[in-house]
Each structure stands twice: as structure tokens, then as C-alpha cells.
Amino acid sequence: HVACTLRIGPCARTRMLWHSAEGGAMPSRNRGQSSGFYCTRRPAVCCAAGASSVFGLLLVALPRSPWSSSVADAVAPDSEDRQYKYYSYDETLRYFDDLKKQCPDIVDTWIAQEEFPEILPEGKNFRWASCGSGTCRTLIVRIANRAKLTDTTPEVFLSGALHGNERLGPLVVTELAGFLCKRYRAGDEDVMRLVDERSTWITPMTNAHGFFANTREENNMDPNRDFGYLQNPEKCMMTQTARTVNELFRRHLFQFELTFHGGMRALTYEWGSKNHMFDRRSTESPDDKAFTAVGVEIQEACGKDAVNHEWYPLGRINDLVYPVDGGMEDWSYGAGWEASPKPITVCRPKTYGGYDPQRTVYRRDSIAALVYLAEMDDFKTPKELTLGSSKELWAMGNQDGHVARNLRMCLKLIEFARPEVVFRPPTWPANLAPGVQLLLDVRGFGCLTMSLRLLLLPRSSLPAASS
């Protein structure tokens, strides 16, 4: 037999071609030797070969996908080239109503004030904020194959906007949902894997009132100072925004979170709080290596800017942005394992009829998402002409619009929620003639590196084998 170990650097789509031969098909320098090693260029394949070898192995590495992910490898670009545009509050609600009709098996929506009565004790009909002619509604979306959901389906949370005047994030997560729906219906193998084996939760307009009014705050309260982290107990969980996120995190164990903001350009991770600083620099979180490794991958997926620099500088929130009290990022990373009541605050707000303090007491290890904060652009609402078009998703360049680059980042992060090796069963002839090529498709999906051991046995050594 030939025992082969395949080690691939970044997980890329790979093909392996086996050549049947009499007496072995290793290069001539190995033929007939009792043992030897044949190693290709990176990605590396090393095969320890013996004189009785009946197969040789050749690996061909296919190009990595446009967003440094395997999601697009086998996917043809859409024929259309649609220019992206911003949606209003009402247009976003209608968009998801239509999306549910197009993909009823994988798109579910809820209104937080109806689904979570805890967040509005005055009742769902209480007019807590006005959005046009009606009461504001906080939309929650899940993209997942409902029929295949289990208790262990990995979950990801994407927040469009805590600050209502930062408009790019809501557009990105809305277009992401539409992309997943459309490509799923088209039978896209890898998008089906994202939807069938992962559950993506989205709050497109997390701050519904702020988004409608195009203002930072919700009723003059800043949602990203409203979480139970180093905050005054009466000054946290005041908003419908924070309470909605809190109820989602109480019910789901999110592995990753991506929250979108605007006003500068940075891709950051923990820590972002004053208690995790030393000499004016952020200390390391317990998951710093994981934050960095995944961060580099999703940073790469976004591509570069016009001067060939990474679009997003990558680092810790305290170092690249600034520390805050009551931030969602620190809370959604540490609420399940840091100490309470400090830094994890037990909140006792009085707004909207109050909120039960027990809703901010958490079971150990129930909240511990790996959180990324994307500050998307120097402008809180970039001009529409900078949003780009749908075809840019498929060919990463340094002139891409905002939506395509951030869609690639979202897809990559969702993929990481479930590391796996994808093996496409081969179709081989029943009788192998010398020199025939045998194709096997193996690739990593949702992983940083991949290691495989391939054991090839001559059929004659398996007398019971029928194929």
C-alpha cells in the first residue's frame, strides 16, 4: 500500500489524481526502492512508497475562491450585474416578506416585540417608538433549512446596525439573506451546505427606531452603551435594541458574531473595555489566537483598497477603536463566564415598563461568542455610488464596492461555524488498467488548515471486496 499524508496550508479546493500502474507509479527515483518519499510543491503531499505499491498519487491544487473561501469554487457567477442601493425601513420589511415567499423552507422572520414579551411589559401594542404611521418593529431573521435543524446546529449572529445612522451594515446583511436564498434555490452546492448545516441569525435593523429616523440613538439612548458590561444597573437594557439581542443570546449559543458600524475603517475583536487595558493597550483575551486566526481569514476575504493595503486594519477594539462601558461586543463575549455583578451587570432599567433583572443573570458558559466589530468606512453612510454591484462578489479586486467585500466576509465567517472536510465520492471503473487516471475531490470547508491521511490498498489484499 501507499500511505499518503496531505497537508494543505489555507484550506483550498484540491484534486487528487491517482494513476494505476504495475509495480508502482512513483517517480523513477523511487521505483523499485524499498521505501521513499515523493513530495509535490505546496500544498504538500508526501507518500511513503513500498515496492509493492500499485498506485501513484498526484495532487492538483485548484485556485482559491474570490473571497479566500471554498464557498464559490464550484459556483458560476450570476448573469446579472445589479447595482446595490440602500433600502429604507419599510423597504427592508417588504424585502424580507418577499424573501419568505421565495424561500419558505429556509427563511423565517419574527418581530421581537411579539416574540419576546419580556422586552416590552406594556404589551406588544404599546407605542414605544413611531416608525411612520405605525409602531417600530424590530425584525429578526433566520436563514437555515428548518427541516435539518438540530440542537447542535452551529449558529452565527449578524447585527446590521446598533446605530441607526450607520446604513451600510443593514444593507449588507439584507443582501446576504437574498444571496443565500437565490443561490440555495439554484442548487448551489456550497451555499446549500451553509444553509443546511448552519443557522444564520440576522437583525437587519437592530436599532429599528434609529434606522427609521436615521439617527444614532433609540429614543435618545445609545444602544451600544446599553449592555450589561461595567454599566450602571439602571443604565443598561434600557432599549428595545439591547433587550432584543439579550433575548436572542439567552436562547441561542452563537459561535460567531459580526456587528457592523461606520465612522472609521477597522476590523476588531476583544477586548473593547476599560477593565481589560494595561498601559493604555488592550490585554489579550483567552481566545486571542482564535480571534487573530479567524480575523486574518475574514480580513483577507474583504480584499484590499486602491493602494493595495488590506481594506480593514485588524486588531483589538481597545487599540484600533476605543474602549467603552456597556458595549455589546464585550458583553456578548464575556457574559457567560466573566464575574457578575462586575463586570457583568445585573440590569434594572425603568424604560418601557421595566425589564426583569433576572433576564441579565446568565448560566455559566451560555454566552461566549467570538465577536468581530467591523467599522466599515470613514463615512457612516457612504455614497450610494460606492456600494458597487453584484458581480464584484465573484472577482475580488481593489476597486470593489462596499457590499461585495462585506458579503464575502459574512460568507467566510458563516463557513467557519462548522469546520469539515468535503469528500466528493469518486466514480472509478470496475477494472483498472495500468495508467488510468483516478480523480478524487477533497477540500476543506470552514477550516484554516487541513490534514488528511490517505491509505491506498490493492484490491487483491481485500479478498472480500466487491468493488
**pLDDT higher at 224 or 3:** 224
C-alpha cell read off for 337: 463566564
What pLDDT, on a 0 to 100 scale, did the predictor assign at position 58?
Answer: 38
State pLDDT tens for residues 24-36. 322 222 222 222 2
Nearest alpha-carbon partner for 246 in 372, 122, 153, 355: 355
Is the per-residue pLDDT at 71 higher than 70? no
What is the structure's pLDDT at 78?
A: 58
Asked if residue 177 lies in contact with residue 107, where contact means CB atoms within 8 angstroms, the answer is yes
pLDDT per residue over 245-284, tens digit each? 999 999 999 999 999 999 999 999 999 999 999 999 999 9
Q: What does the longest C-alpha to C-alpha distance in the chain come to? A: 84
pLDDT at 466 (0 to 100): 56
Q: Identify the CA nearest to 54 among candidates 17, 21, 28, 5.
A: 21
For residues 250-262, one letter each, b for 16 or more C-beta atoms within 10 angstroms of the residue's C-beta and e for the rest, the string is: bebebbbbbbbbb
| pLDDT tens by residue, 289-333 | 999 999 999 999 999 998 999 999 999 999 999 999 999 999 999
Judged against a pLDDT cut of 60, whether residue 14 lies above it is answered with no
Quote the DSSP letter at residue 122. Answer: T
Task: State residue 465's pLDDT score.
Answer: 57
- In this predicted structure, the answer to whether residue 92 has a pLDDT above a threshold of 90 is yes
Identify the weakest region by mean pLDDT among 21-35, 76-90, 301-315, 435-449. 21-35
* pLDDT at 75 (0 to 100): 43
Q: Is the pLDDT assigned to residue 55 strictly greater than 60?
A: no
CA dist 426 and 190 (Å) reads 18
User: Average pLDDT of the chain?
Assistant: 84
Can you tell me the mean pLDDT for 377-386?
96
Q: Tell me phi and psi for residue 335, to 5 degrees.
A: -65, -25
Asked if the model's pLDDT at residue 61 lies above 60, the reply is no
451 φ, ψ (degrees, to nearest 5): -130, 125
CB-based contact 242:226 (threshold 8 Å)? yes
Helices assigned H by DSSP within 365-425: 402-416
> In this structure, which amino acid lies at residue 176?
L
Rounded to whole angstroms, how far apart are CA atoms 25 and 125? Answer: 75
In the predicted model, is pLDDT for residue 21 greater than 60? no
Look-up of cell digits 467603552: 324
Q: What is the pTM of this model?
A: 0.83
CA dist., res. 341 & res. 75, Å (int): 49
φ and ψ of 104, to 5 deg: -65, -20
Q: Where are the beta strands (DSSP E) in 130-242?
A: 130-131, 134-135, 139-143, 155-159, 199-203
pLDDT tens profile 412-428: 999 999 998 888 777 77
Identify the pLDDT of residue 399. Answer: 87
51-60, 70-79, 440-449 — which is least confidently predicted? 51-60
* Residues 110-142: tens digit of each pLDDT: 999 999 999 999 888 899 999 999 999 999 999
Give the pLDDT band (50/70/90) at residue 398.
confident
| DSSP-assigned letters across all residues of 249-292 | HHH--EEEEEEEE-SEEEEEES--SGGGEETTEEPPPTTHHHHH
- Per-residue confidence (pLDDT) for residue 386, from 0 to 100: 96
